[in-house]
Amino acid sequence: MRMEYAEAYAKLEKYGQLHVLQYFDELSGYEKEALLAQIETTDFEVLKQCGHKAELNPRGVITPIEVMQLPEIETKRERYTQIGLEAIKAGRVGAVLLAGGMGTRLGSDAPKGVYNIGLTKDVFIFQRLIENLMDVVRMVDAWIPLYVMTSDKNHEATTSFFKEKNYFGYDPAYITFFMQDMAPAADYDGKVYMEEKYRMATSPNGNGGWFLSMKKWGVADKMEEAGVEWLNVFAVDNVLQRIADPCFVGAVIDTDSVVGAKVVKKSAPDEKVGAMCLEDGRPSIVEYYDMTPELMEAKDAQGEPAYNFGVILNYLFRVKDLEEIVAKKLPLHIVEKKIPCLDENGMPVKPEEPNGCKFEQLVLDMIHELDSCLPYEVVREREFAPIKNKTGIDSVESARELCRQNGIEL
């Protein structure tokens, strides 16, 4: 039974959101139903955090963490690769593509993976990722289960694109799509924006809920039944992303680590990437905006910067630990974003500048819930070409140049 108007009214009143019903009388029967259903399933509790950004996630004591660096990896490459290949071939490793984000900085309405970075031919971001994964599929001569997280905003566009492109040659039996949850998006006073007169503005609730969503969709159970013990979680926007990298998988298994995190040497102390560290003695990631001048200047015993390795959103999680992590509440992050909404006259606007807050949980916070983490260095120029913007740093332009350097035809 759907929520009745009176109940919806009471819920909104409790959270100071009665403006959501402002246009109710002019809505069609279908629209009224849709809005009541959205009110019923929306968690307004997060909106209370709007004015409390500063005290939301207090940080513990940050100290350096040991990173497995390139020279050490080289000496053990053969052994690790062998261990990794065995695990992958046996079907014990799956891959999770986080593709639920909105990619607002790129400025395209389509899912980010649909973006074409080709110059002389089509090279879609999704295609680059599949091609990279296929390198390993060919090595082990077995398909690697791939789970793709989408959101309400891009699910249809993503699944139909994959279908239209024939999954870029991947066996569709090994690709499973699932959707993440949405969170309300609000102005700076915590008032939820309306996207339409019958719909509140919502945005994907961050990349931290991926395993919970896999469970919700029944994907996690099937995966565990299939014998998957490790999940390599990765971002959609790094077109040089190595997925199910045998040497990385082997290193994490061989060192008895609970999770592995691929890291690169930071290009500058203030580079906008999260740096691996220990926080109150547990593995953690200090975000670039939490990097104090002291942390940026700190040196290790060798005189190298102590927080010199940035995460690239490529983690290998042990499935049995994920069950425990999801039971805990990850911290909530408030992110300022451009939120399309209705103005005071009920007309749609597409803001040029950030106009409010979205609420996200982040995959990097999962690391802090685990007892051990292996930060594993990779060669930056070979594995890290993120596309966040159209031009400049971390852009389509810089990623194209890195593809060229790696001999990838565009």
- Are the CB atoms for 317 and 365 separated by under 8 Å? no
For residue 105, give both structure tokens: 């900085």
Q: Which stretch binds ligand UTP (CB under 6 A): 67-75, 170-178, 200-208, 366-374?
A: 200-208
Closest CA to 105 of 389, 361, 303: 389
Select from 42, 81, 180, 232 the one that contacts ligand UTP (CB under 6 A).
180
Nearest distance, CB of residue 258 and ligand UTP, angstroms: 22
242's CB contacts (< 8 A; 6+ apart) are 132, 248, 262, 314, 378, 383
Based on CB atoms, which residue is closest to ligand UTP, 68 or 244?
244
Q: Of residues 8-37, which lie at the interface with ligand UTP (CB under 6 A)? A: none
Select from 190, 206, 250, 260 the one that contacts ligand UTP (CB under 6 A).
206
Q: Is position 274 an interface residue for ligand UTP (rule: CB under 6 A)?
A: no
Based on CB atoms, which residue is closest to ligand UTP, 209 or 283?
209
Q: How far apart are CA 386 and CA 123, in angstroms?
A: 15
354's CB contacts (< 8 A; 6+ apart) are 336, 337, 338
Nearest distance, CB of residue 133 and ligand UTP, angstroms: 15
How many CA atoms are closer than 13 Å to the CA of 205, on its beta-carbon side? 21
Q: How many CB atoms lie within 10 A of CB 363?
A: 23
Q: Is position 272 an interface residue for ligand UTP (rule: CB under 6 A)?
A: no
Closest CA to 256 of 371, 138, 98: 371
Q: Of residues 336-365, which lie at the interface with ligand UTP (CB under 6 A)? A: 360
Q: Of residues 117-136, which lie at the interface with ligand UTP (CB under 6 A)? A: none
Based on CB atoms, which residue is closest to ligand UTP, 39 or 313?
313
Q: Of residues 135-154, which lie at the interface with ligand UTP (CB under 6 A)? A: 149
Based on CB atoms, which residue is closest to ligand UTP, 210 or 248?
210
The conformation of residue 343, written as its DSSP 8-state character, comes to -
Select from 84, 145, 204, 310 the one that contacts ligand UTP (CB under 6 A).
204
Q: Which stretch binds ligand UTP (CB under 6 A): 3-11, 79-87, 229-237, 375-383?
A: 229-237
> SS3 of 40, please?
helix
- Annotate 116-160 with DSSP letters as a single string: B--SSS--BHHHHHHHHHHHHHHHHTS---EEEEE-TTTHHHHHH
282's CB contacts (< 8 A; 6+ apart) are 368, 370, 371
Q: Which string of x and - marks every residue 70-109 that binds ligand UTP (by CB under 6 A)?
A: ----------------------------xxxxxxxx----
Nearest distance, CB of residue 281 and ligand UTP, angstroms: 27
Residues lying near ligand UTP in the complex (CB under 6 A) are found at 98-105, 112, 149, 180, 204-207, 235-237, 313, 360, 388
